[in-house]
Structure 1
Amino acid sequence: MMIQYFTKNGFALFMMLSLISSLGLANNITHIEDVIKQVQPQGAGRLNFWGLHIYDATLYRSLGKDSSEFALDVRYQKSFSGKAIASRTVDEMKNIGVPESQAMAWGKELAEILPNVEPGQTLTGVYSSQQGTTLFYEGKKIAQIPGADFSKAFFGIWLSPKTSAPKLRAELLGNGCPPPIISGAC
């Protein structure tokens, strides 16, 4: 009886892990846990544009009760220059209501920070109220941008109700609420 139960549930677990791995969502999150202790995925999704698979993203939340800390891990499936990512970030920030002058200033800073990415590589943003936004490339810290204003604008690209990718937002949030910095209470 126990062997049958284990085999049946073990197979289901194996299939679930295989699916997550095939979607590119099974990531090493040590760098996230260096900033936020004890995290778990809240949701994951895929961005497609004109039928092209652009990237997979996973939203991680702290297990701490009432914690505002979270991370967004993006695994690219296409090659992009850091400057192209920064430019798109500016456009998306303006789309959610960030004033153009502020979005452009942040975009200029990001263009100097963000590396070129190849398929399978990750960029991760981690938010904590004490540190602001910490950016990682392939698990290595590349920048820390203090303050809540940048964090709200940057993560709002994916998590704001005004996002240009509402399907991805819904997948990232799953059955949960957005982080407080994005929406306040849920």
Structure 2
Amino acid sequence: MFIKSIFFVLLLCSVEVLGQTLPENWKRIGEAELSILWFDVYDAELLSPDGRYSGVNSPLVLKLNYRRNISQRDLLEETQKQIKKFARTDQADRWVARLSQVWPDIYKGDQLAFWIDHENTGHFFYNEDWVGSFQDPAFSNAFIQIWLSDNSNYPDLAKKLRGSVK
């Protein structure tokens, strides 16, 4: 019984260590709104420790504040379409399968944030609560390119987020 109690306490401690929090006091690089036709989708904000964009392999936080409801299924389907521009299909399929275990349905007013840390590990937060991490730097790079690449579906949004256009 004693061994089981110690195991349980160690398990609780390890779960607490795994939990992450978004970096605080980072500075805004840029912000943009995504609207498709007459539908407002989200307001986006890109942050870094010093408020400068130094490339996709540097520490960044992307915050998406949703202005409409989006089902998990729709979010995953769109992400899969977009990420395939920056990764092999088999990688994208694996990553999206993992995202299906992390992402919930999105409701108007929710925030989904993505933090790339110094090791290029990607951490997801839903309404500022950590929901999962990807330790694959290739994922972090491909995922953030959806918003920051000139080859994305929304290059003007990318420029605004990178601070290239005000």
Query: TM-score, normalised on structure 2?
Result: 0.79
Aligned match of 1:137 in 115, 126, 132?
A: 126
For the pair 1:126 / 2:126, whether they are aligned, the reply is: no
Are the counterparts in 1 of residues 69 and 106 from structure 2 also a CA contact under 8 Å?
yes
Give the structure, 1 or 2, with the largest relative contact order (CA under 8 Å, sep 6 or more).
2
Rounded to whole Å, the distance in 1 between the matches of 2:22 and 2:122 is 12
Structure holding more helix per residue: 1
1:108 partner amino acid: A
Say what the alpha-carbon RMSD is for the aligned residues: 2.0
Q: TM-score, normalised by structure 1?
A: 0.71
Matched AA of 1:172: L
Instruction: Give me the whole-angstrom Cα distance separating, in 2, the residues matched to 1:84 and 1:106.
Output: 15
SS of 1:97's partner is: coil
Q: Which is worse superposed, 110-119 or 167-176? A: 167-176
Q: How many residues align?
A: 142
Distance 1:151 1:174 in 2: 20
* CA distance in 1: counterparts of 2:61 and 2:97, whole angstroms: 23
Shift of 1:110: 0.7
Q: Secondary structure at the match of 1:113?
A: coil
Counterpart residue number, 2:7: none
d(CA) in 2 for partners of 1:88 and 1:175?
26
Whether the aligned pair in 2 keeps the contact of 1:42 and 1:173 (CA below 8 Å) is yes
Give the secondary-structure state (helix, strand or coil) at the position aligned to 1:175: coil
In structure 2, the gaps of 5 or more residues are: 1-20
Q: Is the contact made by 2:86 and 2:145 (CA closer than 8 Å) also made in structure 1?
A: no
SS in 2 for 1:134: strand
CA distance in 1, matches of 2:118, 2:92: 21
Shift of 1:147: 2.3
Q: Which runs of 5 or more residues in structure 1 are unaligned?
A: 1-30, 177-186
Deviation, structure 1 residue 87: 1.4
The residue correspondences of 1:76-115 to structure 2 (distance < 5 A) are 76-94=66-84, 96-115=85-104
